[in-house]
């Protein structure tokens, strides 16, 4: 190889180095753009999901509390505590025909109760357990619907209903 060929070969190597150097430095803007696009997409998705969860939990809370308040208002307006007090005095039986879907909001959202703040979730679940207990007692065939129902049963059921009404006031 003579000097001119060597010079030409070195020139080609230098040109290749420039091309390789230029191409490796040109991918950084694409990498940086891709990285920030990924971060924006992930954080945007997280923010949207967070907002959706917050709206859903607020809607579930509002609906569950509205149902609790409505059930309480019905019990008060129908004077169920008064009837239970009468039963404590030995003045008869107490029976209410209960529809199967007396708590449709709770039944439809029982899996979402965990979305509520812990204190509200505990109160909503406790309220419904108390009401279910009262309904068992006053349903046809329940202990208070029987002839000669024990006075103590009326007192216990009245206490449970009163506790449920108190919970409603705390929500």
- How confident is the model at residue 29, as a pLDDT? 75
Find how far residue 47's CA is from the centre of its chain.
Answer: 18
- How confident is the model at residue 112, as a pLDDT? 95
- Of the listed ranges 3-12, 68-77, 136-145, the least confidently predicted one is 3-12
- How confident is the model at residue 138, as a pLDDT? 94
CB environment 29-56: b (16+ within 10 A), e (fewer): eeeeeeeeeeeeeeeeeeeeeeeeeeee
- pLDDT of residue 134 exceeding 80: yes
Report the domain count for the chain.
1
- pLDDT of residue 65 exceeding 70: yes
Indicate the pTM of the whole model. Answer: 0.74
Residue range(s) defining the domain that contains residue 108: 3-170
For residues 34 and 88, which has the higher predicted lDDT (pLDDT)?
88
- How confident is the model at residue 13, as a pLDDT? 65
- pLDDT of residue 163 exceeding 90: yes
Intra-chain end-to-end CA distance of the chain, in Å? 95
pLDDT digits 0-9 by tens, 8-55: 656 666 666 666 655 555 667 777 777 777 777 777 777 888 888 899
- Of the listed ranges 2-16, 55-69, 89-103, the least confidently predicted one is 2-16
- How confident is the model at residue 7, as a pLDDT? 65
């Amino acid at each position: 190889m003579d000097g001119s060929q060597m010079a030409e070969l070195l020139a080609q190597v230098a040109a290749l180095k420039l091309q390789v150097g230029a191409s490796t430095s040109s991918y950084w803007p694409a990498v940086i753009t891709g990285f920030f696009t990924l971060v924006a997409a992930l954080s945007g998705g997280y923010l949207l999901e967070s907002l959706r969860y917050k709206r859903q939990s607020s809607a579930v809370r509002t609906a569950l509390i509205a149902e609790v308040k409505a059930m309480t208002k019905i019990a008060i307006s129908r004077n169920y505590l008064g009837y239970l007090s009468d039963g404590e005095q030995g003045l008869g039986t107490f029976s209410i025909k209960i529809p199967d879907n007396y708590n449709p909001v709770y039944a439809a959202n029982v899996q979402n109760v965990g979305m509520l703040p812990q204190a509200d979730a505990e109160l909503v679940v406790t309220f419904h357990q108390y009401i279910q207990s009262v309904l068992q007692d006053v349903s046809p065939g329940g202990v208070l619907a029987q002839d000669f129902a024990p006075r103590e049963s009326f007192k216990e059921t009245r206490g449970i209903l009163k506790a449920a009404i108190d919970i409603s006031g705390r929500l």
